[in-house]
Amino acid sequence: MRSDRHTASPALKIAAIGGLLFLHLPILLIFAYAFTTEEKSYQWPPPGFTLKWFGVAWERPDVWQALTLSLKVGAIATAIALVLGTLAAAAVSRSKFFGREAISLLVILPIALPGIITGIALRSAFSILDIPFSMWTIILGHATFCVVVVYNNAVARFRRTSGSLIEASYDLGADGFQTFRHVILPNIATALLAGGMLAFALSFDEVIVTTFTGGQQSTLPIWMLEELIRPRQRPVTNVVAMIVVLATFLPILAAYYLTRDGDQIAGGGK
Amino acid sequence: MTPAVEFIHTSRHFGAVRAVDDVNLAVKPGEFFAMLGPSGSGKTTCLRLIAGFEQPTGGEIKIFGEPAGGVPPYRRNVNTVFQDYALFPHMSILDNVAYGLMVKGVDRQTRYREAEKALELVKLPGYGSRKPGQLSGGQRQRVALARALVNKPRVLLLDEPLGALDLKLREQMQEELKTLQRSLGITFIFVTHDQGEALSMADRVAVFNNGKIVQAGTPEEIYKRPQSRFVADFVGSSNVISPEAMQRMGGKAEWASLRPEAIRLVAEGGVPAQTLVSNFLGSTTRLSVEAEGVRLHVMLPAGERVPEPGETVRLGWNPADVHYMDGAA
């Protein structure tokens, strides 16, 4: 009875479904509260449903400020990470030098360290150097872990790309820039896109490092934390939460699909 | 006549490793030149020095009389067919072949026309729209060849070009490469560890060992008159006989090589030997015998009686066919 091996017992099925529901029902709950008519507390079931909070959120300038700041920080931190992460990955995978393994470890370290350590360390460093807290200090804070994501994606792709491709390009008359544009970039593009999207998603919902490196500005997640304390127009927070879920979930989904098919393009000539 | 490629006391050392050590070499224009040697003998480094991927640490390289020192690979009129072909996986075959023209700024129409012509030259017309992943090993090799030839290089470098192909395809490609080289008149320099390939294809062969050229000459010279035991051993098909055994067989007390086809079976006199095994090769039969403690190969023409294993035979040869050489292994 071979087919029986693939059929789980009903108890296991229920447990699995229960686990998934436990993970995802709370998110649906957040969505539901975005439409509630009760604005001071979260009451279940919602006494009534309305779309007015979308309008209210649209009218609130603080929502827009937080959203633009988050988008700016995410975009610039990702851009920095794309440049630095690609360069570091190229150096580590394309050449041999003293301390290569150590550098590889040091690049990855910020994502392994608890955010609070990174946050405190950066805050002390900014204070010592007399750098005022601004959008740029938040960007620097986010770039520390965004670089790691890009680096990891790029390094994996570089390792699968045959080194003779670059030599072949030189051999056929292409200089360094042409080789980068026509050979290296197309081969690592999907890895960079995936890494960049993950980096953006990480930056977009980051709280801890932002708390330590930000001044008066609030990124979207920080704004939400503050908003939860205020017992007025609470469903606006839920509306914004829905936007955050979509803004982070879609890039991650896209990144997953982009890297899944990546194997076929980087194999080299063999 | 200016040599196509000239090595003048050229060395490439990697730390203490002398990959190429004081090599002198002149490849003539239009020549099919083979660099033959075991792995690690420096032949591939020599090829990379010509292509410009390595710079000499000593001496000089000239390409058609021009010093190549400091000239980057993309400014050399030299193209390479890589061992792993190194086709760009994200480009179509046509774009791969047209790549060299594209980076030189040749317009799309001209470069695609030239690329199509190059594909016809290597007998792959109409394959342009495919991707490298959709081709077989032999086809990829042809594309790599077309991609190099479309640039009209003055020297074509081939790094173990047939290494990844199966035997039948290899023999076919050997002939095609040879024909192609003749018709194009381009200097071909190819690196191989396969002595059969080097001897059958090249006009001249340089045998490498430990970063040095141990012998350079026509395939016939290399085969008939190996200068050292190493060359005779590596080229392989000849019998290598130690000084002691040679003396007992009535020759000089020196290392010697004796070609299998120079040995005959004689009825009387000669050197007695024990038959070990025979291999039927079609036009000939190769007999392995043991004489004076040395294992020898003897080529018997078709039609001659083949001795049974264990049978005692008598070997004879013309003393002029014995080639004495340096004992360096």
Q: What pLDDT sits at residue B12?
A: 94
On whether residue B148 sits in a domain, the answer given is yes
On the CB side of B41, CA atoms within 13 Å amount to 20
Looking at B231, B255, B280, the residue that finishes a domain is B231
DSSP B61: E
Residues B292 and B224 in one domain: no
**Which of A94, A98, A158, A171 is the best substitution to test chain B (most B C-beta atoms within 10 A)?**
A171
**Mean of per-residue pLDDT scores for chain B:** 90
On whether residue B169 sits in a domain, the answer given is yes
On whether residue B329 sits in a domain, the answer given is no
Contact B246, B281 (CB under 8 A): no
Residues B203 and B61 in one domain: yes
Q: Between chains, do B72 and A169 touch, taking CB under 8 Å as contact?
A: no
Q: Which residue in the set B83, B103, B164 is minimally distant from A172, CB to CB?
A: B103
pLDDT in tens, chain A (270 residues): 445 566 778 899 999 999 999 998 888 888 888 888 877 777 777 777 888 888 888 888 888 888 899 999 999 999 999 999 999 998 888 777 888 888 888 888 888 888 889 899 999 999 999 888 889 999 999 999 999 999 999 998 888 887 789 999 999 999 989 999 999 999 898 889 889 988 998 898 888 888 888 878 888 888 888 888 876 778 888 888 888 788 778 877 887 777 765 444 433 333
Give the whole-angstrom CA distance, residue B325 versus residue A148. Answer: 62
Residue B271 sits in a domain whose CATH number is 2.40.50.140
Looking at B196, B231, B266, the residue that finishes a domain is B231
**Whole domain around residue B97: which residue ranges?**
5-231
Q: Between chains, do A172 and B147 touch, taking CB under 8 Å as contact?
A: yes
Q: Between chains, do A168 and B82 touch, taking CB under 8 Å as contact?
A: yes
For residue B73, list chain A residues with Cβ-Cβ distance below 8 A. 167, 170-171
Q: What pLDDT sits at residue A263?
A: 45
Q: How far is CA A118 from CA A98, A151, B301, in A?
A: 27, 18, 83
Residue B52 sits in a domain whose CATH number is 3.40.50.300
Residues B29 and B68 in one domain: yes
Instruction: Say yes or no: ipTM exceeds 0.95.
Output: no
- What is the CA B280 to chain-centroid distance, rounded? 26
Q: What pLDDT sits at residue B57?
A: 94
Contact B8, B25 (CB under 8 A): no
On whether residue B144 sits in a domain, the answer given is yes
Angle ∠(B130,B135,B141) on CA atoms, nearest 5? 115
Q: What pLDDT sits at residue A270?
A: 31
pLDDT in tens, B144-200: 999 999 999 999 999 988 877 888 888 888 888 999 999 999 999 999 998 888 998
Q: Between chains, do B99 and A182 touch, taking CB under 8 Å as contact?
A: yes
For residue B53, list chain A residues with Cβ-Cβ distance below 8 A. 167, 170-171
For residue B89, list chain A residues with Cβ-Cβ distance below 8 A. 165, 187, 264-269
Q: In which residue are the tokens 């929502």 written?
A: A63
Residues B81 and B187 in one domain: yes
B52: left (phi over 0), alpha (psi -120 to 50) or beta: left
Give the whole-angstrom CA distance, residue A221 versus residue A199. Answer: 16
Give the whole-angstrom CA distance, residue A203 versus residue A73. Answer: 7
Residues B290 and B151 in one domain: no
CA distance B45 to chain A (A): 14
Residues B30 and B169 in one domain: yes
First to last CA, chain B: 35
User: How many structural domains comprise chain B?
Assistant: 2
Write down the H helix ranges in chain B. 43-51, 93-103, 108-121, 137-149, 167-184, 195-201, 219-224, 229-235, 243-248
Contact B310, B274 (CB under 8 A): yes
Of B106-115, B163-172, B206-215, the range with the lowest mean pLDDT is: B163-172
Residues B167 and B273 in one domain: no
On whether residue B61 sits in a domain, the answer given is yes
On whether residue B172 sits in a domain, the answer given is yes
Q: What pLDDT sits at residue A230?
A: 76
Give the whole-angstrom CA distance, residue B189 versus residue B205. Answer: 10
B125: left (phi over 0), alpha (psi -120 to 50) or beta: beta
Q: Which residue in the set B80, B84, B90 is minimally distant from A171, CB to CB?
A: B80
Q: Which residue of B has its CA nearest to A185?
A: B90
Residues B152 and B264 in one domain: no
Residues B192 and B281 in one domain: no
On whether residue B36 sits in a domain, the answer given is yes
Q: What pLDDT sits at residue A261?
A: 57
- For chain A, which residues lie within 8 Å of any Cβ of chain B, measuring from their own Cβ? 162, 164-165, 167-175, 178, 182-183, 186-187, 264-270
pLDDT in tens, B243-264: 989 888 888 888 999 988 889 8
On whether residue B236 sits in a domain, the answer given is no
Domains and CATH numbers, chain A: 61-259 (1.10.3720.10)
Residues B143 and B203 in one domain: yes
Contact A81, A238 (CB under 8 A): no
Residues B57 and B194 in one domain: yes
Q: In which residue are the tokens 């470069």 written?
A: B111
**Which of B14, B55, B81, B84 is the best substitution to test chain A (most A C-beta atoms within 10 A)?**
B84
Looking at B205, B231, B257, the residue that finishes a domain is B231
Residues B245 and B106 in one domain: no
Q: In which residue are the tokens 């979260």 written?
A: A42
